Amino acid sequence: MSKSSRTSRAKYAWLLIVVAAIIAGAAGCPSGTRLEPGDATPAPEPVQPSDRDSAAAATATETLGAEGFDEAPLTGVEEDLAAAGDLRSMTAEALNAQGVLGTVYFGYDSFAFDDAALAVLAENAAWLRTNPRFDIIVEGHCDDRGSTEYNLALGSKRANAIRDHLVRLGVDVARIGTKSFGEEQPAVTGSGEDVWAKNRRAEFILADR
């Protein structure tokens, strides 16, 4: 819940930046010139908006018609490069331990994807496309309500649904294996909706080719 509201806030911030950029572009052009799609005037590079404040700042800047000259510090970039460097030599096991691929969660007795699941799947698919040297096992899991047999079948449904979606997102089907654990390997033990929600999931396990 909180995750999706964060996402929409981020989208909103993006929108503000784009709108601001269009206004800025229009203001800078001779009167009567229309911005065409594909116009050379680029939208700003996607400086990752971290929160509402950056959007507010962008709006304020536009209102003043001024351009700043200070550049945001390059936080995180060096780390990413370092990680990418490591990645080339890292084993699947080490990457799995790092949790580079997100887990997808499901509703009760369901193998449908909600928005959060689709977002994780998009990220995981992108990662797999850019790292073709790994295969992937999609493991389907269930909460412990219901029979062993039904939950094995449901876990299989979840894993297969993810495989099919990853293929739609451009991951080679030959790289994807599926495995259902049913209710046998809960992420969290106990009962109650909080526990069950954490156990109804699919995990992505990388394998060296």
Partner 1 sequence: MIRSARIARLGARLVAILTLALFFTAQDARAQQPSGTPSIEGVITGEARSRVSLAVPPALAEGSTPTAWVAEIGQVLRDDLEFSGWFGLLDARGEGRIAADRLQDPAAWRDVGASYLATVNVAAEGTKLRVQVRVIETGGGTVLMDKVWGGDASRDLRRLAHVASDAVVESLTGRPGIAQTRIAFVSRRGEAKEVYLMDYDGARVRRLTTTNTINLAPAWSRDARRLTFLSFLGRTPSIYLLDETGKVDLLHPAGGELNAAPDFSPDGGTIAFSSDRDGNSEIYLYDLASRREMRLTSHAAIDTAPSWSPSGREIAFTSDRSGTPQIWIMAADGSNLRRLTYEGRYNESAAWSPDGTRIAFVSRIAGRFEIVIKDLTTGKETIVTTGNGNKENPRWAPDARHLVFSSNREGIYQIYTMRDDGTGLRRLTRGDASYTPDWSPVRPN
Which residues of the chain form contacts with partner 1 (CB under 8 A)? 109, 145-150, 152-157, 159-160, 177-182, 184-185
CA dihedral 125, 128, 129, 132 (to 10 degrees): -160
CB of 153 to partner 1, least distance (A): 4
Name the residue nearer to partner 1 (CB basis): 49 or 140: 140
Name the residue nearer to partner 1 (CB basis): 67 or 149: 149
**Residue 78 corresponds to which tokens in the numbers above?**
């060096």
Name the residue nearer to partner 1 (CB basis): 9 or 157: 157
Name the residue nearer to partner 1 (CB basis): 55 or 176: 176
> What element of type H or E holds 61?
helix 52-64
**Residue 9 corresponds to which tokens in the numbers above?**
């806030």
Judge whether 144 and 92 are in contact, CB under 8 Å.
Answer: no
CB of 27 to partner 1, least distance (A): 55
CB of 145 to partner 1, least distance (A): 7
Name the residue nearer to partner 1 (CB basis): 25 or 146: 146
Report which DSSP code applies to 17: H
Exposure b/e, 82-104, CB count within 10 A at least 16 = b: eeeeebeebebeebbeeebbbbb
CB of 92 to partner 1, least distance (A): 15
Judge whether 182 and 155 are in contact, CB under 8 Å.
Answer: yes
Q: How far apart are CA 157 and CA 179, in angstroms?
A: 10
CB of 71 to partner 1, least distance (A): 50
